[in-house]
Amino acid sequence: MTAETAITPKHTPRDYKSDIKPVWCPGCGDYSVLGSITKAFSELNLDPENVAVISGIGCSSRIPAYTDCYGFHGVHGRSLPLAAGLKVARPDMTVLVASGDGDGFSIGGNHFMHACRRNVDLTYVVMDNRVYGMTKGQASPTTEPDWDNALTPGGSGISPFRPLVIALAAGANFIARGFSGDQNGTAKLLKEAIEHPGFSFVQILSPCVTFRPDQKEWKDDVHDATVDPTDDLGRAARRLMTDDGFNVGVLYRGEREAFQPPIGNASATVADLEGKFAL
């Protein structure tokens, strides 16, 4: 009887889902991630109108329309600045950013680093399937270098990007990895990520059954992290040195203060500003 004392949420997970039907392929991990997100929102007892889901371009970036929250489906790779602008202007909103490995780590790679540094109170969920789906199966930054595809026959030959290592080095305040096959476990990670102040990064391994059917095997590859979450950068870094990419759970919980300049507190009028120019 661990959690019977929890408050019954005002809204069920389904209340956060819109009536728009996803375009994803049946079997896609993103369906389950959508379920994890709505479960986390429900458990956090958030009113849907006080939540915004922001995205860029790609399969996973279709998520905002599938939620019944405020949303913005922006341009490719720019979901993080779009979300940061919203959160800084409207600190009262809970802002979740949804992205994929192409949108988030390739075209949006620079924003990823700087969002980690800036530490605006956002939760960044990257559904990683190591492939571009919307353009029919090209290598992404996290794709294995020898994965054969039409654009780079025989494989890209490029070492995969290591999102958790980058996040840690760039200063993300919360870092975790989940797996779409564990909807409830991922919901728990997301709840914690949203609650954690500052920039929270959650990589979710989310198989692409169309272009990477081999990823169905991931359910046998993932395993719980054997080490507890840490607030120590050195320990987290050492853990990542031996990471096989399939450890799931929370890696790092930082204590940096979130970036939120004050807004709405005027101490002067426009006429005061104009006075500085008057002779």
Partner 1 sequence: MNQPTDNATSISLVLAGSGGSGVITAGNMLLAAAAKAGWYGLMTRSAGPQIRGGEAAALLRLSSEPVSAQPDRYDLIIALDWMNFERFADEIPLDENTVIIGDASAAKKTPAFVTEGPARRGDIDFKNLSKAIPGGRPNMIALGTVGALIGLPEDALDAALSDALAKRGEDAITASRAGAQAGRSVAADMPATPKLPTPEGEKAGRWLISGNEAAGLGAIRGGVRFVAAYPITPATEILEWMSPALTKVGGVLVQAEDELASINMAIGGSYGGVPALTATSGPGLALMTEAIGLAVASEVPVVIVDVMRGGPSTGIPTKSEQSDLNMALYALPGDAPHIVVAPNSIRDCVFTTQWSVHLAEAMQTPAIVLSDQALGQAKSVIAAPADIAFIAQRETASTPAQGENYQRYAVTASGVSPMALPGTPGCAYTADGLEHNPRGTPSGGAKDHHIQLDKRQRKTDDFDYGQHWADQAGEGDTVVLTWGSCTGPVLEALENLAGTDDAARMISMRLLMPAPKDQLTKALEGAKRVIVVEQTHSGQFMGYLRANIDLPRDAEHYCIPGPLPMRPGDIVSLVKEGTPS
Partner 2 sequence: MSTLDINNIGEFLAHAHALEAEAASQYADLAEQMEVHNNTEVAELFHKLAEIEGKHITKIDDKAGDTPIPHIAPWEYKWEGGQSPEAVVDMEAHYMMTPHHALTMSLKAEERAADFFQRIADNTTDEQVRSLSTEMALEEREHIEWLHKWLEKYPKPEHDWDEDMDPPMLQE
How many angstroms separate the CA atoms of 71 and 91, rounded? 16
**Total residues belonging to the chain:** 279
Regarding 276 and contact with partner 2 (CB under 8 A), the answer is no
Query: Does residue 30 contact residue 206 with C-beta atoms inside 8 Å?
Result: yes
Regarding 64 and contact with partner 1 (CB under 8 A), the answer is yes
Name the amino acid, one letter, at 227: V
Regarding 72 and contact with partner 1 (CB under 8 A), the answer is yes
* Residue ranges in 20-155 assigned as alpha helix (H): 29-43, 63-66, 79-89, 101-102, 109-118
Regarding 52 and contact with partner 1 (CB under 8 A), the answer is yes
Question: What is the four-CA torsion angle of 12, 187, 35, 168, rounded to 10 degrees?
Answer: 140
Regarding 193 and contact with partner 1 (CB under 8 A), the answer is no
Binding partner at 14 among partner 2, partner 1, none, C-beta below 5 to 8 Å by kind: partner 2
Exactly one of 37, 39, 67, 142 binds partner 2 (CB under 8 A); which one?
Answer: 39
The binding track of 81-120 with respect to partner 1, each residue x by CB under 8 A or -, is xxxxxxxxxx-xx----------------xx-xx------
Burial of 53 per CB tally in 10 Å (0-12, 13-18, 19+): buried
Binding partner at 70 among partner 1, partner 2, none, C-beta below 5 to 8 Å by kind: partner 1
Q: Which of residues 132-171 bind partner 2 (CB under 8 A)?
A: 134-137
Tell me the two tokens of residue 93.
Answer: 């909103």
How many angstroms separate the CA atoms of 95 and 71, rounded? 9
Comparing CB distances to partner 2, the nearer of 209 and 237 is 209
Regarding 257 and contact with partner 1 (CB under 8 A), the answer is no
How many angstroms separate the CA atoms of 130 and 100, rounded? 9
Q: Which of residues 1-30 bind partner 1 (CB under 8 A)?
A: 20
Regarding 166 and contact with partner 1 (CB under 8 A), the answer is no
Query: In sequence order, what are the residues at sequence separation of 6 or more whose Cβ sits closer than 8 angstroms to the Cβ of residue 128?
Result: 100, 101, 142, 163, 203, 204, 205, 206
Query: What is the contact surface with partner 1 in residues (CB under 8 A)?
Result: 20, 47-50, 52-54, 64-65, 67-75, 77-78, 80-90, 92-93, 110-111, 113-114, 261-270, 272-274, 277-279
Query: What is the contact surface with partner 2 in residues (CB under 8 A)?
Result: 1-9, 13-14, 21-27, 29, 31-32, 39, 43, 57-58, 76, 134-137, 180-185, 187-188, 207, 209-211, 216, 219
